[in-house]
Amino acid sequence: ILRRMMKLCVAETSDGNLHARENEQRLLRNMGVHVVVLDLLKIPYDKMEDTRMNHIMKLAHNLLQYFCYENPTNQAKLYDLYFNDYQQLSEEQEVETCCYIFLNNIQLCKTMTEKHIQHFVHLIELHGRKVIYIKFLQTIVKAENQYIKNCQDIIMSELVTSDEVLVFYEKGNLTNLFERMKSDTERTDPNSLLNYHIQLVHLLAMCTEGKNASTEIKCHSLIGLDDLVIIVTHPECIPEVKEAYVTFLNHCYIDTEVEMKEIYNSQHIYALIEQSFCPDIEKLITKATDEPNLEKYILNTVIDLLTQFFNSPFFEQASAPQHRNTTLISLHSHLIKLFTASWLTATQREHVDRCIHIISLIADRRGLLHFLRSNHSSISESMLPSHRTSRSITLEPRHSGTYPADGYNHSEDIEHTRVIDGFVAFLSQTSVRLAPLILAEISILVDVIRAPAALFPEKNECRLKFLYGAFVHKLIQHAKYLLTQTDENLCLRIMHSLKSMVKSNTEFETIGQSLRLKLLRRYFSDDTQYLKSIYQAVQEEDAIERLRLTQNELNKQGASDLVVELFISQSSINILEESIHLAIALLEGGNTEVQ
């Protein structure tokens, strides 16, 4: 039963990723399956002896995890029913379920307090260095591509005062780390101490990402540049460890809020380029070993760091000794070789191309272009036609333009880029500005459809007509008519408005809320009673009753008939999909009359 319900909640894609089945998750929620499973988890049993029960409990946790996977409503349900007893949660399966509850849900992550985080950090001290405890802390630090500064600060403070950071101070730990990297068991076991170390460094990087001055300063004392270079350049260092430390380097020393001139004036980055980055790029180009981790590390982490470093305004202010120019030319040569690799995807190639372009501009300013051209020529000649793909051939002329000829005016190129970037930024800002206003206006339209009678004074003829649902009835009939006229878009908009009448979960920003209140006063000033009811906060019981009344009214005016007609009509997939959403809204909460 548990396995069957797990399959209902998620579907596995061909590449092994999970895809949430939102409608089935909603169905299970309405049936109260999660409540039954939570009761199951409370049953006492002998955890040491009863292996069968252990297996059932693991499946029960898996079901809860899939039940709330990518589903904010279900996550909120489990947050209330399960996570609120967080002090009772300590086992790995329980913490893993907590990870799914908070996964990519910024609203829930923002509810985390110091006591919550202290509890989970304390679990490491009580139960040992388990990867899942670190994974949970990683989950609550970042959601929906946003970093939660409060969580970053608390986690960092707790880690610094715990024994966990001793791993970065004790002298024998470096030797221990290199020994673990030699072990195949340590590398393949997701719960090994090696993987714990990797995830801990990733957590520190995540605590500094997004330019957080207080956590950056604390991290500087944990992992110094000298130690970082020793680890990354060590012959035994594996790509997974390199990725963690180089990501940390990027967020803690380069892409920072605190001005870090040390990294630009010291030899550390150049040592990494010479002793680690270039050899690893060479290894990746020759494909001496089939290591997807190495590919991910070079094409994402290393290229990101190089782009960030060489594109920084602090780099231009730093000193440029001759030997650093030699390193720059060598790096450029390796990146050109990587760029011409036939197996790169379009996105990867573009990523590398941008990095090469930035280095080329630096070389131009330093008068090193003739070295780059000679490098490029020798590489091009060494590539036999039989080993070159059509993609690399077609891209080569474009890339040769990256190295400016003598007298080429770079200011025009930079100005052109600046204008385009400025225009894109303008559009983005305009969209951000207008989006909440549009949402507010649409919400008013839904209010008008929900209560058109409130637009008119008390004794107005239209008010009496609309009080008995004539407007919504006409709207539903119009949707049916539009289908025969093949006006699909307008039909879709009407159905979407009907669905929004039943349940709208829109949360308005300040600017949107301000416009909404202004429009409400403008349109519903003749009906102060209705206007007052909109302003008042609704209790949960009242909200359920209001939902039921709206569903019944729509059902009475023909919304259910409309859905059935759309189901059996020869309409497009878009109409079918929207009609399913409308049907679900009408059935939300288990409305027996609509059923």
Q: Which amino acid is at 502?
A: V
Q: Please name the residue that has the structure tokens 């051209």.
A: 373
Do 234 and 204 touch, CB atoms closer than 8 A? Answer: no
pLDDT reported for residue 320: 67
Chain segment 114-134, per-residue pLDDT in tens: 999 999 999 998 888 899 999
Among the ranges given (100-114, 138-152, 255-269, 546-560), the one the predictor scored with the smallest mean pLDDT: 255-269
Rounded CA-CA distance 272/331 in Å is 11
Give the residue among 41, 49, 108, 40 at the shortest CA–CA distance from 74: 108
Tokens encoding 500: 């929004």
Q: Identify whether the C-beta of residue 129 lies closer than 8 Å to the C-beta of residue 191.
A: no
Q: In angstroms, rounded to a whole number, what is the distance separating the alpha carbons of residues 160 and 157?
A: 5
Of the listed ranges 78-82, 119-123, 395-399, the one predicted with least confidence: 395-399
CB 307 within 8 A of CB 361: no
User: Residue ranges of the alpha helices (H) in 401-469?
Assistant: 410-450, 461-467
Q: What pLDDT does 404 receive?
A: 42
Q: Measured in whole angstroms, how far is the alpha carbon of residue 127 from the centre of its chain?
A: 30
What are the structure tokens assigned to 99, written together?
């990870």
Cβ neighbours of 211 (radius 10 Å): 14
Q: What is the C-alpha separation between 51 and 65, in angstroms, rounded?
A: 21
Taking every pair of Cα atoms in the chain, the longest distance, rounded to a whole number of angstroms, is 90
SS (H, E, C) 337-365: HHHCCCCCCHHHHHHHHHHHHHHHHHHHH
| Residue 359: both structure tokens together | 């280095």
User: pLDDT band at residue 567, thresholds of 50, 70 and 90?
Assistant: confident
User: Average pLDDT over the chain, rounded to whole?
Assistant: 85
Q: List the Cα angle 544/550/554 in 5-degree steps.
A: 145
Name which residue leads in pLDDT, 293 or 404.
293
Which is more confidently placed, 90 or 526? 90
- Region 127-156: mean pLDDT is 93
What DSSP string runs through 201-264?
Answer: HHHHHHHHTTT-HHHHHHHHHHS-HHHHHHHHTSTT--HHHHHHHHHHHIIIIIS-SS---HHH
